[in-house]
Structure 1
Amino acid sequence: MSETTDTVTDAVLDVRDLRVAFGPIEPVRGVSFSLRRGERLGLVGESGSGKSLTALAIMRLARRAQLSGQVLLEGEDLLTLKPRQMEKVRGGRVAMVYQDPMSALNPVQTVGHQLEEAIRLHSRLDRRGARERAIELLDGVGVPHPQRRVEQYPHEFSGGMRQRVMIAMAMCADPAVLICDEPTTALDVTTQARIMDLLDRLVEDHGTAVMLITHDLGVAAGFCDSIQVMYGGRIVERAEAEALYRAPVHPYSEALLGAAVDLSLELGVPIPTIGGQPPLAGRLPSGCSFHPRCPHAQDVCRTDSPALESAAGRPVACHFADARAQTLEESDVRV
């Protein structure tokens, strides 16, 4: 049975049955989703679920991987482009903000030089024009004294300011799609909030579609319109953010939200956790990949892999999604 795609005609990014393989190992298995202009989509799940690899595959940066399916950017399949063609698309029509800005920025070149290089790659500006545009971009993302800061090196910036530089670089060509891979990792709470406010403003001002990869469910809840939960290389649930947080249907989504730190817990009360470990891509269990950790698993879960099908008005990959959705509805009625 085919997976639910939920593709839409007005999507700027339409991913269809994306698979990423390294020989016989397939860490990303049939991922499909659509992203409209101005939409904010969250991709959540534990480390090893395939989130970052999905993003790298979209950007054609998954080295030595065999890619299949379709990645349609404004109707053009990126998986069919030659490397030279993809270089013009990458950083232009689709851009990415990486998890660690210190490793993404060149430590021996000034921030201004790196911004200017990206700007000139995707425009016809000369050096002077590129320098003016770099200063404008730094000012736009809230870097103080941009005329002076363009002459400085990455190590002279704080972690939050380096992340702002990365966002400025990603926005230099006004991309249709911006992929953010853990953009607030290792930042303090105040800086996290400022970075997310900046991304929020970019969406509002430019209509950029954003795919946010994050472990922080609080960040996803505050920023995203919709959420996709990923496990074992597959999407296991997709829903509007409010609906997912209010009533997760897939057992993994429920466990993931239940394991979020609750500061209201009394001292001595154990923090909920998900038992076991996520499966390795080369050692996926038979049937549903979550069944070894699922408290609701039954015999069919151990033998048959569930398709991503509609339940409770959303795609869910669970054999008992309808029954779980019905239970949730009855609980809401009783409340």
Structure 2
Amino acid sequence: MKIAFYGSSLLSSYWNGAATYYRGLLRALAALDYEITFYEPDVYDRQKHPDMAPPPWCRVVVYEATVEALKEIAAEAARADIVVKASGVGFEDDRLLKEVMAAAGPDAIKVFWDVDAPATLAQLKEEPDHPLRQALGALDLVLTYGGGDPVVAAYRDFGARRCIPIYNALDPTTHFPVAPDPAFACDLAFLGNRLPDRESRVEAFFLEPAAQCTEQRFLLGGSGWHDKAVPANVRYLGHVPTGQHNAFNATPKAVLNISRTSMAETGFSPATRVFEAAGAGACLITDYWEGIELFLQPDEEVLVARDGRDVSEILRSLSRDDASRIGRNALRRVLSAHTYTHRAKEADRLFREFRSFGAVEAAE
């Protein structure tokens, strides 16, 4: 089947946290004989910071950020069996949704794929006339990369016919254990862009522990932190391309996952970083969020902190041997149950059931 996928960017992870998710999932779907075209706008300087060449398993179309170009690429949806509009494309999202779904053929499966469900649902709640809220009843599927039952129920309340999480996962062809790199040597590393929905939690879970654990070394990666005041034992790297993520994760004694506030409150929303770190065999410390045990077992495969004090205590008591053991356990778990091959099979089943029965409800 042919998929027309309209998303933020496949070629660049620059200010684009969904890149890993798109890459892993679409590569795995291509292995299941899907023919995929990914459409991404030239915005936010992403095309100036590519960290992936156009892949053999997916045709990538980069279009200018103009309404005329948007209409041209939206018209190509008419040739697809599955038409996907993702959240957060970054240019005229509402117009893109309208144009793409209008162009989709009558037999095409029409999908909204939400890579930031808490933020999207907050918008729908605040804006009863939001274009997506008005369009939900005409879409066949809403797929999300996290959220669990609360997100599913919220989308159904807003009129979605069916909402199903297709969670983040590991692509073992791109994220795997590597030799340590002295450039990333430290006791605790955190990688994440500076966002309003995350900054206070980064202060609490990363910067405050750094100030308390002056004998330990901390590493901060991600865009936007250059003018942030940090303790003297924190080294700032800036944007870390995906090609360096394995070394970034495999080298420190531990790496930290800090969920954005909305993700933590929603629960059941593991970030791509969780699986990237586990795939590299890293010892992961994560802030608490409901549902984590569905993905990694606390204390055995991941260490869970409810606040910055917990992070400090974990760091002071964590030995290199224990960190290595937890990292190995996490790697085994994600390889056995949480790869993008697993997720692609879930999506493939949904698509094929829909095609076979002609209605999403028939898959229930």
Pick the TM interval, shorter chain.
0.3 to 0.5
Q: TM-score, normalised by structure 1?
A: 0.33
The structure richer in helix per residue is 2
Bigger RCO (CA 8 Å, 6+ sep) = 1
